[in-house]
């Protein structure tokens, strides 16, 4: 599997209803997209949930590279290029994935980023990460690592974010989820 995300920072006075309407009108177009486990249409809004900026930050979890290649190189990503210009697509590799179809029941995605420091061995690092990440209720989560940056992100699917005051991270609002049936 492969995870991708592009983060489009928008002006602080940007009307976020434009993005919400864009997702309402077009989010369904990635429902059932080839090789896509899910796409989360995510936004942050300045002043909401302690966010400092407006942004549009879709997160994709691909089952394989064929769907990602189709999305990027067969015209689908051109909608982003035409609307927002050239964007860097961040890539990562899923390490732990507890997600099920129940992610559809949540309104928020909470992201915590942690550096992986230089060490003599990476043996058992997955177990250490799984033991060390904060538990937030019974939430489903996804851990994605990037060996280019040597860091990992934990993404929690949440319905309520009021208890996150002690944990430092980014709270995204989920506008739409395109997903498969989670059966394969």
Nearest Cα to 33, choosing from 61, 3, 6?
61
Instruction: Tell me the average pLDDT of the chain.
Output: 92
Which residues have a Cβ under 8 Å from the Cβ of 58 and sit 6 or more positions away?
A: 5, 6, 39, 40, 41, 42
Tens-digit pLDDT profile for residues 72-130: 999 999 999 999 999 999 999 999 999 988 999 999 999 999 999 999 999 999 999 99
86 assigned to some structural domain: yes
* pTM listed for this prediction: 0.92
CATH of the domain at 76: 3.30.70.100
Q: Are strands 170-179 and 108-115 parallel, antiparallel or unpaired?
A: antiparallel
164 assigned to some structural domain: yes
Tens-digit pLDDT profile for residues 128-183: 999 999 888 889 999 999 999 999 999 999 999 988 877 789 999 999 999 876 54
28 assigned to some structural domain: yes
pLDDT of residue 183: 47
184 assigned to some structural domain: no
141 assigned to some structural domain: yes
59 assigned to some structural domain: yes
121 assigned to some structural domain: yes
129 assigned to some structural domain: yes
Nearest Cα to 84, choosing from 109, 60, 55?
55
State the total domains in the chain: 1
The three-state secondary structure class of 42 is: strand
Q: Which neighbouring-strand residues pair with 108?
A: 158, 173
Domain of residue 132 covers: 2-179
């Amino acid at each position: 599997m492969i995870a991708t995300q592009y983060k489009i920072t928008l002006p602080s006075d940007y009307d976020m209803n434009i993005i919400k309407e864009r997702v309402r009108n077009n989010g369904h177009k990635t429902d059932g997209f080839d090789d896509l486990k899910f796409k989360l249409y995510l936004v942050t809004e300045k002043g909401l949930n302690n966010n400092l900026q407006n942004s549009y930050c879709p997160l994709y979890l691909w089952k394989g590279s064929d769907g990602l290649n189709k999305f990027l190189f067969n015209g689908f990503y051109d909608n982003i290029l035409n609307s927002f210009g050239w964007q860097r697509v961040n890539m990562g590799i899923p390490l732990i994935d507890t997600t099920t179809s129940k992610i559809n029941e949540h309104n928020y995605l909470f992201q915590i980023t942690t550096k992986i420091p230089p060490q003599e061995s990476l043996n058992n690092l997955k177990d250490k990460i799984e033991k060390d990440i904060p538990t937030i209720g019974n939430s489903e989560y996804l851990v994605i690592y990037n060996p280019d940056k040597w860091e990992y992100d934990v993404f929690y699917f949440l319905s309520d974010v009021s208890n996150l005051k002690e944990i430092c991270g980014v709270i995204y609002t989920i506008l739409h989820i395109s997903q498969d049936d989670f059966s394969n």
